[in-house]
Structure 1
Amino acid sequence: MNGPISWFIKNPIAANLLMVLLIIGGYSSIPKLDKQFFPTPEINQIEVRMEFRGASPREVEEQISVRIEEAIHDLNGIEELRSTAREGLGVVLVEVENDYPTQKLTNDINTRVDAIRSFPADAERPTVTEITYRHQMGRVQIFGDLSEREMKELGETLRDELVRQPWVSIVELQTARPYEVSIEVSEDSLQRYQLTFDQVADAVRTASINLPAGSVQRDSGDLLIQTRGQAYDRADFEAIIVRSDLSGQELLLSDVAVVRDTFEDVDIDIEFNDQRSLGLNVFVTTSPDVILTTNTVKAWVKERALSLPDGVSLEFWQDPSKAFKERVRTLVSNGLGGLILVIIVLMLFLRPALAFWVSVGIVVAYMGTLFLLPYTGQGLNMISLFAFLLTLGIVVDDAIIVGESVHSAQSRGLSGVHGALVGTRQVVKPVVFAVISTMVFFAPMFFLPGEWGPASKGIPVVVCLALAFSLVESLLILPSHLAHMKPEPDVADAGWLT
């Protein structure tokens, strides 16, 4: 450490250049940082969900959950299996081992589950979903003078457009009743065609389903084969064959029943500005930049509103960027208040010029931290900002020790450059070991377990970077500044209180 210290003391231009580069680098890195409330946690879970309407929890467990667990329990990458069975629904939650590819395990589970042939005939097909943490980025509200069907069709169109915008991952329709196909069979129709209600129901159930048809093994993996027969709308259901005879005559569902496209009979009636309304919830699954995302959505809303039908409007609300900016403003103001208090305390006990350069060291350490922060995968969020506040009183310690040691050496009659070198050399070891010991104290936070463990890395990353740059500033930059300060009379050398 003596070589670089001596060189920077004798070359103040290099010290000033290093300081300026760190400040400029930190300032230029701020736009690159993701800005969000909290980091995205690593959930590492996969959900297998299957509906079995009308079944009791015991039936769901025995005929759904147990069979899924037996099919997938021996797959590589599974740390734990947990299942939940309640009336009409079975859910198997898969905990993925750390560092195992979640997408690969999702594909393997999907292959195993699709190959199960012993599920009840009345059960829906299972869905396999990788669980991801979603950050809500506000809501787009559609409102106007439209029928319920027109409103939902417009909402689906806008949803598909919005999800293609940059930064947007998921858009969900809210406050919209699900579609439903109503099939009404009269007693007269049943008697006319000599049918029973169960026969019609069985025909619909049998024809409207997607069935697995086996798999083909390849070097790249298993290829699943599935027959597609699921009916989705009125026309699909009307074309279902209820009965056919040897002559080829077919009796269609449309011949014996009235089929209507309608909505589920649930009580949903939402108004916005006293008009029928429907919401689009906007989500981001990766590390989001709350400001960029909301600005993108706002720009899309403003542009898309110009081409909507007459009497229909769009409005963006529940804007998370406003709350984020308020919280950042609060933390920054608290940080500036703390910095001012630190400067005042330093000036009370130290020479004013020394107190000034020590305070500049805080800014340099923070700017250096911001300069490297984007390359660590961290961003500006409540956790990292808290870490900046946490280190405010720590990063100043190195500069105080070095500054006071240099001042003491110069007070003994040593020249500015020689006094700065001697004073810095005297405290190099304790300063370095103090910084290392503090880093070691925070190091275990890099290895915290659980889904929020990786998300909390912002604290040790910020602390270690700030301490490292504080060490650089106090040993390389600060001594150069102190070496070239003009000597002052003894009465002015002390702080205001001393």
Structure 2
Amino acid sequence: MIAWFAKNDVAANILLCVIMISGLYVVMNKIPVDLFPAIEQRSVQVSMSLPGASPQEVEEGISIRIEEAVQDLEGIREITSRSNEGSASVTIQVEEGFDVRQMLDDVKIRVDAISNFPVDAENLLIQVPQWRRDAIGVMIYGEYDAVTLRRFADDIRDEISALPAVSQVEISNTLPFEISIEIPEMILRQYDLTLEQVSGILRQNSTDVSAGNLKTEGGDIFIRSRGQAYRATEFADIPVITTQDGTMIKLGDIATIKDGFEETPLRMRFNGVPTVEIEVFRTGDESIVEVTEAVRQYIEQKQSQMPQGMTIDYWRDRSEPIKARLETLTKSAWQGALLVIILLALFLRPSVAFWVCLGIPMTFMGAFLFMPLFDVSLNLMSLFAFILVLGIVVDDAIVTGENVYSHLQRGEDPLQAAIKGTQEVAVPVTFGILTTAAAFLPLAFQTGRGSWYAAIPFVIIPVLLFSLIESKFILPAHLKRVKPRLPGQKPSKFSMVQQKIATSLERMIERFYQPALAQAMRWRYATWVAMFAALLIIIGAIASGQTKFIFFPRVQSEVATANVVMPAGTAFESTDRIVAAMTVHAKSLQEKYRDTDTGESVVRNIYSISGGRNSTTGRVQIDLIPPESRPIDVSTREIVNEWRQLVGQVAGAEQLNYRAEIGGWGGSPIDIELKGRDVDALSELGEKLKDQLRGYAAVSDIEDSLSDGKEELQLELKPEARLLGLDLNTVARQVRQAVFGFEVQRVQRGREEVRVMVRYPLEARQSIETLEQMMIRIGPNQEVPLWQVADVFPGLSPNTILRVDRQRTLTVSADFDKEGGNLSLVQEEVGRWLSDEIAAYPGTYFEMAGEARDQQESSQGLLVGSAALAILIYILLAIPFKSYSQPIIVMSVIPFGLVGAVIGHWIMGMDLTLLSFMGMLALSGVVVNDSLVLVDYVNQKRKQGVSLKEAVYNAGGRRFRPVLLTSLTTFAGLMPLLFEKSTQAQFLIPMAVSLGFGILFATLITLFIVPVNYLILEDIKAYLRRYKSDMKGLIKAKSTS
């Protein structure tokens, strides 16, 4: 095949063009653009509502029943339930290796079979949470009431949905519409009505009824009555009762009808002005750039049509950081490619360097063909993978091209030189590519946060395989065009420079490298001991903590968020005042970091939310300009720290935390689950744990999942109530209908489902006194006040009940300054303290969650991947060598590559991270390539009859240039990324450091340790042969005697 393609350059060029054109088409039309890869959701979520119920009622009526129904399903990793006021959420984590969709079907069957849910339970939803790709936010804001803003937002949402580039739009952080019909108790008594009776009357009169078809000669005519009410005015016209004098009393005569939102306080502000947010998402293969451009064009056109005092603007255009990051990494890729081309041109003939470099775009286009098959988008990770492989991808072409170039220098025919030079190194080059591909393969099977990097092997492996095709079938057809330099031909100036470099390199090999190699071969055991000692020193530095290890580095975002949670029962206005104060401090930062020349501030917008589903929560978000574009040099972390200091301690706040990083789905840096049946014991232990954490300077934002509890009123039936024929259920149900309300019906208005409620006026539901005066019906025209039949006692109800694996659970979490402390050490110390402390609480135990759990899972994945990789590399080396021992020579260089990786982190002043170790894992397959080429050359020469030491010695000199060149190109391809300053590229750099510096150090080691190990292995073989021979002689001597 090699000879056929070399002779048939038309076929080689057609193959090249097909790959290039196909790949270009796919990348332009089939590969979506994202900032980060989508993460597979390995969980099933069950949610259900129980309006008006306390968390305990929700726990007993919904959460526990769902847990018990699904707990024995195979493949469940963990069951977590949260019981809140009026709603339950149960999340079922699925073990790796089990089908999430199958688990979804199994859960649906089990939950659908539950027959004893509370009567009022509704809105059962069972789903696999979807990875939502936010594209851009649209803000409609102005000094208008919430209903007016919402109705404008509804129209704008529909218009944006109609844009050709947009497919999914939602109004976010808003409340459902509700029609509230409020009737005072006095009016009800006046007309001898109950809320339930009013509800029944409305239900009968607010409806559309089909009356069948009228058969006529002209056809069927459909008959139906139209009585459904949709608006407050229509409900007001419904007749409720007719008096004895014939007067018709309508609902509007006895009730106050409010057409608005649910009775849940919510206040949203954009730059201090009331607002409604519309969120636009990207789905499928849609381009986020096209989606955001379409929305921003719409906003520009719509602005002139908005009412006076109302503004429409965009918020958090996610395409901006994507374009900036991709532009930055693309620039790094082009700079790296340019450095690779320059290096190749300096060491090889320019024509040879050109044909070698032509393989780079071809292999990249080949990888683009496979990206849609693996569901890989063009994102920060996949582009980073292209940069990683930039210098590696030409390794096989360099070895092939350099060998062909050597044949040309000896005056051989270009075609024969191309064929022979390619065939000579075909085996080591092929298996070298396979070992490199194998090195990246374990990254595809990482779990936990390690799965974030799964896109890397799905890019690198196709690139390497296409490089193998290019170096075997396309490159030889091009290299045959390289003409040898004729005798007496005047060299060009560039050729003269190149010749000087080549001469200098040869002189260095002869004067420095080969004498040093001879000494290393002579003192091979001392050399081996010295290198092994260096390896032990590095391992000791890591184990002792001298080299800092941050498993998950912080990825700074362009959005800083502050969240506050006040104690349950806190008035909404109190929470809103705190949010307003946090917003004021954010505005002060906006002014502080405003450029005096341009007027541009680092802080672009401020968005705050008070209340919502929980009136005691608040959030403030600051939208920041990307770090590389900021008019003032200040980091996101510095802004957040200053914001935290300005806000200070919020009196009474249960939780107050600040976040400004991407990728928080793995949990907090410190996250500990306390489990047991005794809630008081969990609470006491949780307080002790928080006190212990406060002793660490690097720990901040300490919080737990157990609130102080919401005030509640508990009813206890009096003995005389039973004499009146009342039971607790009857009394409680009448109280619930009066306070929470009686649902009449739900009507569909456009996209919105509107709940119609009948209840007492708000002022009748705001004090214990009015509640006690509430009248309880005991029969027709008979009623008594509540205080006569029941006692009302104050109490506390937990705001949220958390259960993990069917156990009551208290979580204690905290943030951690990873630059200022050692997280692993703190986690270890806290774990030891907790193990001792928990002995005083029988039946209670703890588990490390959050980052600690992710770290354990990722570490296990790395260990398993490392073991599998070592076996795979050994197999791939043993096959071409046809030897069980020689793969050990090649693999012996791997630990020294790791030494280089650690030294590289020292030089760059960086901490070791998860990506550092992933880089080391990938390095294991890359560094063996040079060793493989050396050992293969020694084996070839020994087959030709050259002595062992001469073959080993000559191998170093003969393969010095390709070994050096492959290492330099790999490092050159990574160099621009190593010095990249953009914020979100920082966490990628440790992997590039591991690869780049590991390759450089391994090259130096390879040129000495491989010859030394080859000789040591032969010494061992010779010793074993002598020992075996001596044993045979001894046995023979004994047998003859």
TM range (shorter): 0.7 to 0.9
Q: Structure 1 residue 8 and structure 2 residue 5: aligned?
A: yes
| Mean CA deviation greater in 303-312 or 392-401 | 303-312
Quote the residue 1:186 is aligned against: 184
Residue in structure 2 matching 1:258, options 251, 256, 259:
256
Amino acid at match of 2:195: V
* 1:59-458 → structure 2 map (5 Å cutoff): 59-72=57-70, 81-95=79-93, 100=99, 102=101, 113=111, 116-121=114-119, 123-143=121-141, 147-163=145-161, 165-166=163-164, 168-174=166-172, 176=174, 178-194=176-192, 199-200=194-195, 234=232, 256-263=254-261, 264=263, 266-271=265-270, 277-286=275-284, 288-301=286-299, 314-449=312-447, 453=451, 456-458=453-455
**CA 164–14 in structure 1, closer or farther in 2 if over 3 Å, else same:** same
For 1:318 and 1:121, the matched residues in 2 are separated by 43
Contact 1:167 1:284 (8 Å CA) reproduced:
no
* Alignment-mate amino acid for residue 480 of structure 1: A
Aligned to 1:497: 501
1:460 to 457, 461, 468: 457
Indicate the structure whose relative CO is greater, using CA pairs within 8 Å and at least 6 residues apart.
Answer: 1
Percentage identity across paired residues of the two chains: 37
- Alpha-carbon distance between aligned partners in 2 of 1:188 and 1:409, rounded to the nearest angstrom: 107
Contact 2:141/2:274 (<8 A) preserved: yes
Deviation at 1:37, TM superposition (A): 1.4
2-structure distance, mates of 1:375, 1:456: 17
Secondary structure class of the residue paired with 1:347? helix
Q: Please report how far the alpha carbon of residue 158 of structure 1 lies from its aligned counterpart in structure 2 after TM superposition.
A: 2.7
Check 1:452–1:298 CA distance in 2 against 1; reply closer, same or farther (3 A cut): farther
Structure 1 vs Structure 2 CA RMSD? 4.0
Contact (CA 8 Å) 2:62, 2:88: kept in 1 or not?
A: yes
My pick for the range that moved more, 297-306 or 27-36, is 297-306
Structure-1 separation of matches of 2:251 and 2:122: 22
Deviates more, 1:328-337 or 1:75-84: 75-84
Listed one character per residue, the Cα deviations across residues 20-44 of structure 1 (whole Å, up to 9, x for unaligned) are: 4433333333212211112322214
Deviations 1:349-371 (A, max 9, x none): 33333222222222222233234
**Letter aligned with residue 15 of structure 1:** A
- For residues 109 and 236 of structure 1, do their structure 2 counterparts lie closer, same or farther at Cα, with a shift above 3 Å needed? farther
> Residue 9 of structure 1 aligns to a residue in which SS?
helix
Contact 1:52–1:122 (Cα < 8 Å) also in 2: yes
Q: Output one character per residue of 1:223-266: Cα deviation in whole Å (capped at 9) or x when no partner.
A: xxxxxxx9986479769999999xxx999865643222234462
Report deviation, 1:401.
0.4
| Counterpart residue identity of residue 266, structure 1 | P
- Which whole-Å CA distance do the structure 2 matches of 1:405 and 1:92 have between them? 63
Structure 1 residue 168: Cα displacement: 4.0
Cα 1:237–1:111, aligned 2, differ >3 Å: closer, same or farther?
farther
Amino acid at match of 1:62: E
- Quote the offset at 1:321 in angstroms: 1.7
CA–CA distance in 1 between the matches of 2:476 and 2:321?
Answer: 42
Q: 1:450 to 1:162 in 2, by over 3 A?
A: farther
Residues 117, 482 of structure 1: alpha-carbon distance in 2 compared, 3 angstrom cutoff: closer
3-state DSSP of counterpart to 1:131? coil
How many Å apart are 1:387 and its aligned residue? 0.7
CA distance in structure 2 between the aligned counterparts of 1:127 and 1:242, rounded to whole angstroms: 37
Deviation of the 1:121 alpha carbon: 4.5
Deviates more, 1:70-79 or 1:389-398: 70-79
Counterpart residue type for residue 367 of structure 1 = M
- Structure 2 CA distance for partners of 1:66 and 1:315, relative to 1, 3 Å: same
Per-residue deviation, 1:298: 3.6
Q: Secondary structure at the match of 1:85?
A: strand
**Distance 1:431-1:125 versus aligned 2 partners, 3 A rule:** closer
Partner-residue secondary structure (3-state), 1:270: strand
- What CA distance in whole angstroms lies between the structure 2 residues aligned with 1:244 and 1:81? 56
Deviation at 1:281, TM superposition (A): 0.9
Post-superposition offset of 1:279: 1.9
The alpha-carbon distance between structure 1 residues 251 and 430, as it changes in their structure 2 partners (threshold 3 A), is farther
- Could you tell me whether the CA contact under 8 Å between 1:351 and 1:495 is conserved in 2? no
| Residue type at the aligned position of 2:153 | G
Question: 1:64, 1:90 within 8 Å by CA — same for their partners in 2?
Answer: yes
Q: Contact 2:356/2:394 (CA < 8 Å) preserved in 1? A: yes
Determine the C-alpha separation between the residues in 1 that align with 2:324 and 2:265: 39
Task: Tell me, in whole angstroms, the C-alpha distance in 2 between the residues paired with 1:189 and 1:429.
Answer: 95
Conserved 8 A contact 1:352-1:495: no
Partner of 1:497, secondary structure, is: helix
- Structure-2 change in CA distance of 1:299 and 1:92 (3 Å): same
Tell me whether 1:485 sits opposite 2:482 in the alignment. yes
Structure 1 residues 51 and 367, CA gap change in structure 2 (3 angstroms): closer
Against the structure 1 CA distance between its residues 205 and 278, is the aligned structure 2 distance closer, same or farther, given a 3 Å change threshold?
Answer: farther
What is the aligned partner in structure 1 of residue 675 from structure 2? none
Separation in structure 2 between the aligned mates of residue 82 and residue 203 of structure 1, nearest angstrom: 41
Output the CA distance in 2 between the equivalents of 1:144 and 1:305: 13
Cα distance, 1:204 vs. partner? 5.1
- Conservation of the 8 A alpha-carbon contact between 2:411 and 2:484: no
Give aligned pairs, total: 465
* Inter-partner Cα distance in structure 2 for 1:77 and 1:237: 52
Structure showing greater Rg:
2
**Matches of 2:103 and 2:234, distance apart in 1:** 35
SS in 1 for 2:463: helix
With normalisation by structure 2, the TM-score equals 0.40
User: By how many angstroms is 1:51 displaced?
Assistant: 3.5
| Unmatched segments (≥5 aa) in structure 2 | 204-227, 503-1041
CA contact (8 A) 1:204 1:242 kept: no
Q: Is the 8 A contact 1:347 1:495 kept in 2?
A: no
Distance 1:46 1:296 in 2: 34
Bigger shift: 292-301 or 72-81? 72-81
Do the aligned partners of 2:42 and 2:100 also contact (CA within 8 Å) in 1? no
Query: Structure 1 residue 116: deviation in Å?
Result: 4.6
Maintained 8 Å contact 1:244/1:251: yes
Asked if the contact 1:60/1:86 (under 8 Å) is kept, the reply is yes
| Residue-by-residue CA offset, 1:392-444 (whole Å, 9 max, x unaligned) | 12111111100111111222232211122111111000000111111222223
Change (3 A) 1:129 1:242: farther
CA contact (8 A) 2:51 2:87 kept: yes
Distance 1:113 1:236, change over 3 A: farther
Contact 1:405 1:424 in 2 (8 A): yes
| 5+ long unaligned stretches in structure 1 | 209-229
**C-alpha distance 130-367 of structure 1, shift in aligned 2 (>3 A):** closer
Give the stretch that moved more between structures: 232-241 or 154-163.
232-241
Asked whether the 8 Å contact 2:55–2:83 carries over to 1, the reply is yes
For 1:187 and 1:95, the matched residues in 2 are separated by 49
